[in-house]
Structures are given as structure tokens and as C-alpha cells.
Structure 1
């Protein structure tokens, strides 16, 4: 059942902006990791775990809370989560030690799952023929949030210190709570189930759908490579040959805006062309970005073009993945999204750790190699999916 009459252009824009503003909480730390390392008196490798703990928290939060969207009224659930994330951001702002920061980052991740409730919510409200377009719009807002988070935090952190970024983020979330509480429609869930039954049913969905298993693996590897790059970039830019501070490092997020601008186009394309072919093309674009980072990353133009391709490829593959997975079973969209996004952000957490470790022990060459290997593996998973699909049709 859809509720298309409630899905006005204004509401789509509200959901897109909200997704971007909320997901930004996960990424404010990345351009500031070098500053945080100095502030807490720890190594860059140890500071890199701030990003890792945030993404682990996000994966756990998606596993625990996002499935509730199938059995609970989503507007109320979103309101509670926004209240919790507001408090956790204030906790990070006053962190006296790196271990406090790890704990606060984990809770920020746990409660920043609002975008992953909004995306299936938008799919539920949309009619089937516009679903890819609507998902693309909301995901475009989400990508803008990811990219602009780094730019905003780099500028604010570099000017007033990283703690003020978390104070402002808490204020953003309080405003978002008020706006969404008044704008989102109240839509009762389609499924009647207990929480325990709901969680157990997730394993059944994984067994039932090969497309879900393939999409989850591709999502993990794809976002792992994305996190390898963005976690290590501020360290790379701080040294030779660039010598940029956190304000300039944050501005590099703006170069990925092309990916966000391309997201609605990819969504519309997924309404017309089989999404698995779009996924293969987007993964190929992402692999090209890593070749540029490895062989031309010491030149500014190579780094910029690589960022443009990385963000377009990663986001395009993600939207196409979501479009085909949401089409599997209408009443299970929140749980299907849980499987996809938990896998994706476990990959992101691993990628953050790999990025900071590779930078510490092998420099930019090791970073580029590890990101490229992840994309090659995702292409292999995609190719095996096509091979198995062709065999089933034969």
C-alpha cells in the first residue's frame, strides 16, 4: 500500500534535507582527526578509531532500531532518536579524554540512524513508478550531508576548534526534531509483529533473497573503500606535497558534490534500466577513481577528479542497490534496508580502520592499494551474481 497523496514535492525536499543533516553527524570527525589527535595527545592511528567507533555504532543502531520502522509509527521513532543524538553530540563536545570520545562517538552512531528510517519511509509513500526517483532525491540529500559535513566541520573546527562543531551539530538536531515532528505524516505500520519475531525474520529474508545477499556484500566493500579514502585524506593533505590544514581538507568534500547532483539521475535511470547493470557501471567508475588516487594523487587535478568519480560511483551503486532491494518485499522494506545498511556500515567501519592503519604503516600508496582491492572484490561479487543469474535462467 502506498500513500502517494501525502508525498508532496515539499515533503520530498524536507526528507532529503533531513537525511543529509542527520547523516552529517557521522562525518564531522573526519577532517578533524589530526586536530583531535593533538588535542588528546594520541597517535593518528588512535584518533582514526573515533571514525571507526562512530560507524560501528551506526551499524549496531541500524540493526537494533531501523527494523522497528516496519512495526512502529515512524514519525514517533524518528523523534526519539533525534532527542538521543542531540544529547550524545553534546557529550562529544565536552569529552575530556580519547576514551570518552570513543564512547560518545559510539552513541552518536547508534542514534544517527534517522536517514535509514527516512529512506524506506519515502519508498513507502512513493508510487512504484516514481520510487527510484524519490529514493534518488532523498539519497541525494543524504550524500550532500556526507560531503558538506566535512566542509563545514573543517571550516568550523579549523577556526574555533573541533569541540564547537559538536555543539553546533547538537543545535542542528534539535531544530530537525521540531521540523520533522510537524511535517512528517503519521502512517501506521503495515506489519503486526513483536520485536523478537521481527528480528528473527531478518535471517529468513537473508536466506530467501540472493539479491539481498549480493547487495549487502557489494555495499560493504563499496563503502569500505569510500571510508578508506575519507578517513586517511586529512592525514595525506596535512603532509607533503600539500601541507593543508583542516579547513582546506574539509573543502575537498565540495568536489564530491557532483556525485550528489548525479544521484537523482541515477535513481531515474534505475526506474528504466535493470539496476544490476547500473551497479556494474558505477563500480567501474569507482575503480577508476582509485587508479587516479594511486597514480596521480600527488597532483591536485588527479585528486579532485578522483573525488568526483569516487562519490558519483559509490552513491550511484548504493541508490541502484536500494532500488532493487526495496522492490523485493513491500512490507519488509525497513528490514531489507537494515540488512543492506548494516553490512554497508560494517564495511565502512572496517574501511576507516584500514585507512588509518595503512596510512600509519604504508602511506598513500598503501591507502590507494587497499581501496582499489575492495572495489575489485565488489566487482567480483557483482560478476558472480550475474553468472549465477544467467545459470538460473538457462
Structure 2
């Protein structure tokens, strides 16, 4: 007979090595980057496979929906399955998906492969709870922030790398190189990833069924997930729409120039460790309000500076700083709730906000066709403003 909650997970008996920590951070970044390689080159993929412009952004949506599926169906297994074996097996599936994506001859196969890569890339979110399990509560925000620095670095570098490499080896070559990178990291992980056998013995059906109940009964989890869903919708809107706009008149940038533009977002990686330390000091509320306001301000700047490349660059910097800061603060808060179900808490949190990102990406191309960049930017601004209103209402209720 199974129960909803397992016994407390086995505590880590010794801290992981520095080499293992670095490898985990890089692996998390490489896996998460798979969701974003297509983002700046959707126009190139669409031209190659004959996709209508209004459907180009759905390539990004497919990867994000896949990631959400992986978060629901795979990441919770970290509460009951030996973590290293689970991560390496899922990374192997990601390698196969990347190869299939690179070889896709039709749009239908491309979408199926993209969905599969998204599902398997959820292994990135198996790494974060594992790292948190080796950290004492008083430094958990810092440890999570350090791992998230690698994960976010992969996300933020994926766009410029994809744009730059697409000009050299084509968009298909980008995914071949990603497969090679993930394979190398998996081989290194055979030696360096720490083993952790959870004490839980929950049946798979009960494990998955518990996710919805967690969302309903844990107000902190619910609030943090919805805040970040709104911010991630704005993130998807900006980083899917801006490269499309910049590739066409009046900007008419080359893929390499778009790569340089997307480097503006890399500065957001520095928000992760700072946000983790703020949360450790009890400043989560102030940090959350500041992060949401930063994203709203970034999208307002993108609206006002529609014809200015400089405005696009500054908006990208501010947007990524706010999104990454809020992500780390949110993870630190939910990891404080119950250590025995940390993978499931992370799965609910990540799934909710990735659905927000998928919604934003899916809306971008049709709104761009219908209302132009200003319409896209206005839509992107509405999401963080709604999050800010919800934050204010929730804080008043909590107090």
C-alpha cells in the first residue's frame, strides 16, 4: 500500500566535490540550453521547412511544452529513484532527441523531435534539488544560486551561440553540437555525479497524482509558481519576438549580429547568486517586488523604444536580470517547505511557469503579424503587471 508522502529522504552524508558541483552546473546549463537554441533561428528553420511565419514561434512552444511534460512525468521520480541513474538515463534520451531534431526532414518530425528534446531536457531540474539536498538550510539559497548560475548561463548563452553557429554550420549543426556536448557531460557524470538514494517508496501513480494536490494545498508554492509564470511569459514573448523583428527591416541584422544582441541577456546570470543571498537574509519579499518591477519596466522600454536597437539591448538586460532573480528566490522559498518532496515541489513550480513561457511564445508570432512589435511588447508588459498586482494582493492577505 502506498502513501502520498514518502519517509524523509536520506540526508547527504558528505558535501559533493567542487568538480562535481561545477559539472552539475554546466550539465544543467547544457540541458536547459536545448530549449532556447531554436529561439533566435526560428525564421531560418521556418524558411527551410516551409512553415508559415505565423507558426514559427510554435517551434519554441513545442520545446517548452515538452519540458513541462518532463517536469510532471520525470522530475518527481527523483523522490523515489536513485538520482544519478535517473539523470544519466534522461540525458541519454536528450542526446537521441537532439540527433533526430538535427536530421528532421519535415516540420512534423521536427516538432515531434523538439517535443522529445524538451521532455528529456527536464533532467536539468533533477540536478537542482539534488544540489539542494547537500546544503544546510542556512546556505541553501547560495548553493541553489550557484547551480542556477550554470543553468541560467546555459539558457542565456544558448541564444547567442545558436545565432552565431547557425551562420557557420546551419541550424541543424547547432543541434548536432548540442548532442555532442550533452554526451560528453554524461560521460563525465558517470564518474562525478553524486549518488543519492531517496528513502521514499511511493507508487508512480500516487507520485504524479500528488502534484496537483501540492499546488492546491501549498500557498507559497502556488504564489511563487504563478508569479514566475507571468514573468516567464514576458521572457518568452521578448526573446522569441525580438530576433524575428531584428532579422527584418528596418533593422535587417544578420544572424551573427542577432547573436551579439542576444548576448545582452547573459548579464542576467549574475542575478542568480545575488538573489540567493538576498533570500538567505530574509529579503525575499523585497527581492520579489523588485524583480517583477524590473521585468515590467523592461517590457515598457521595449514598447517605447520600438525603433531603437539600444532600447532592445537595455530591455533584454533588465528583463533577464528580473526573471533570473525571481526564479532563484522562488526556488529557495519552495525548497524550505518539505525536504522529503523537494523534486515534486520543483516539478510543480517549474511546470507552472514553463506553461506561462509556452503561452507567451505561442502568442508572439500571431500577435506580431497582427499588431506589430508594439502589440507584442504591450502584451509582454501586461503579464508582469498582473503578477505585481497579484503579489500585492497576496502579501496583504498573508499579513
TM-score range, shorter chain: over 0.9
Give CA-to-partner distance per residue, 1:63-99, whole Å, 9 cap, x none.
0000001111110001111111101111111111111
| Structure 1 equivalent of residue 252 of structure 2 | 243
Q: How many Å apart are 1:4 and its aligned residue?
A: 6.5
Q: How many Å apart are 1:190 and its aligned residue?
A: 3.2
| Structure 1 equivalent of residue 272 of structure 2 | 263
Q: Could you tell me how far apart the structure 2 residues matched to 1:40 and 1:228 are?
A: 23
| Structure 1 equivalent of residue 5 of structure 2 | none
- Is there any run of 5+ residues in structure 1 with no aligned partner, and where? none
- Confirm or deny: 8 A CA contact 1:2 1:127 kept in the other structure: no
TM-score computed with the length of structure 1 as normaliser: 0.96
| Large movers: runs of 4+ above 4 Å | none
Q: How many Å apart are 1:234 and its aligned residue?
A: 1.5
| Structure 1 equivalent of residue 378 of structure 2 | 369
Q: Could you tell me how far apart the structure 2 residues matched to 1:325 and 1:197 are?
A: 21
Is residue 112 of structure 2 the alignment partner of residue 83 of structure 1?
Answer: no
| Structure 2 equivalent of residue 171 of structure 1 | 180
- Which of 365, 378, 386 is the matching residue for 1:356? 365
| Structure 2 equivalent of residue 45 of structure 1 | 54
Give CA-to-partner distance per residue, 1:167-225, whole Å, 9 cap, x none.
11111111111111211111111322111121222233223211111111112111111
Q: 1:210 to 1:176 in 2, by over 3 A?
A: same
C-alpha RMSD of the superposition: 1.3
Is residue 186 of structure 2 the alignment partner of residue 181 of structure 1?
Answer: no
Is residue 75 of structure 2 the alignment partner of residue 72 of structure 1?
Answer: no
SS of the aligned residue for 2:14 comes to helix
SS of the aligned residue for 1:72 comes to coil
Q: How many Å apart are 1:277 and its aligned residue?
A: 2.5
Is residue 343 of structure 2 the alignment partner of residue 334 of structure 1?
Answer: yes
| Structure 1 equivalent of residue 216 of structure 2 | 207
- Confirm or deny: 8 A CA contact 1:74 1:187 kept in the other structure: yes
SS of the aligned residue for 1:191 comes to coil
Give CA-to-partner distance per residue, 1:263-287, whole Å, 9 cap, x none.
1111111100242321111001111
- The number of equivalent residue pairs is 390
- Which of 219, 222, 226 is the matching residue for 2:235? 226
Q: Could you tell me how far apart the structure 2 residues matched to 1:341 and 1:352 are?
A: 16
TM-score computed with the length of structure 2 as normaliser: 0.95
Q: 1:284 to 1:11 in 2, by over 3 A?
A: same
